[in-house]
Amino acid sequence: MAEGDSAGFDGAYVPPPGTVFAEVAVHTTQPARRPFTYAIPPGMRVEPGMAVFAPFGPRIVQGIVLAVTDRSEVEAVRPVSAVMDPEPLLDPARTELARWMAEEYLAPLWECVACFLPAGFGQKPVTMVSPVEVPPLLPVDPKDRAILQFLAEHGQVTLDELREGVGQVQMATLQRLQESGHLTVAQGLARPAGRPKFERRVALAVPAGRAREEAAALLERASGRWRAGCWRG
């Protein structure tokens, strides 16, 4: 069942007959307990358990496909943006368990799905602001001037970094400066928090039979030295 189209109508369309849909648990701060419905573009292979990128409002977010169906409960939908991995990350038992947890404990669906994902898998959406052309004469508006001055000094920054440097910044201000050709605003995903894990492993360098013979010989020699020590004592 879809959570309505609260993922946003920007870019949504009424799909043609024969469209296949994906019910996706999306990684957002919105505490949704049910998946959102997306259209699967022609030629894209999507299966339950796969990790995908999908639009959510003005952003592209991560999601896990919980089901694939030929029906949609909402008229206008948005398409899946891309498949992250051709192999499913979750099997049917885990996707069903995640849905059950969300319903049983009134918990956000993504948080339930994340219980079964690799550590550090989740990537949060991030807004990047980049300078394009800083005019020789900065704007009269103090906030516009502070934003362009900060970008001239620091180059591409995240929206959080920009706000930390110049104070509160409204998206409407950035969109106006983007329309005037002074900067660009783009949506992306933060780098995964996970890091490669390295383990030391030991393997036999000789066949197992020979290793057992060597171990028996060492044990025999050790026993002989112990008996000799006892005899001397």
Instruction: For 8-25, give one letter per residue: b (16+ CB within 10 A) or e.
Output: eeeebeebeeebbbbbbb
Cβ atoms of 186 and 125 within 8 Å: the answer is: no
Instruction: For 110-126, give one letter per residue: b (16+ CB within 10 A) or e.
Output: bbbbbebbeeebbbebb
Q: How far apart are the first and last CA of the chain?
A: 82
Per-residue pLDDT at 156 exceeds 70: yes
What is the rounded distance in angstroms from the CA atom of residue 145 to the CA atom of residue 123? 32
- Residues 160-173 pLDDT 10s: 899 999 999 888 88
- Residues 91-142 pLDDT 10s: 999 999 999 999 999 999 999 999 998 876 766 667 788 888 666 666 678 8
Continuous segment of H or E residues that includes residue 63: strand 59-69
Distance of CA 229 to the CA centre of its chain: 64
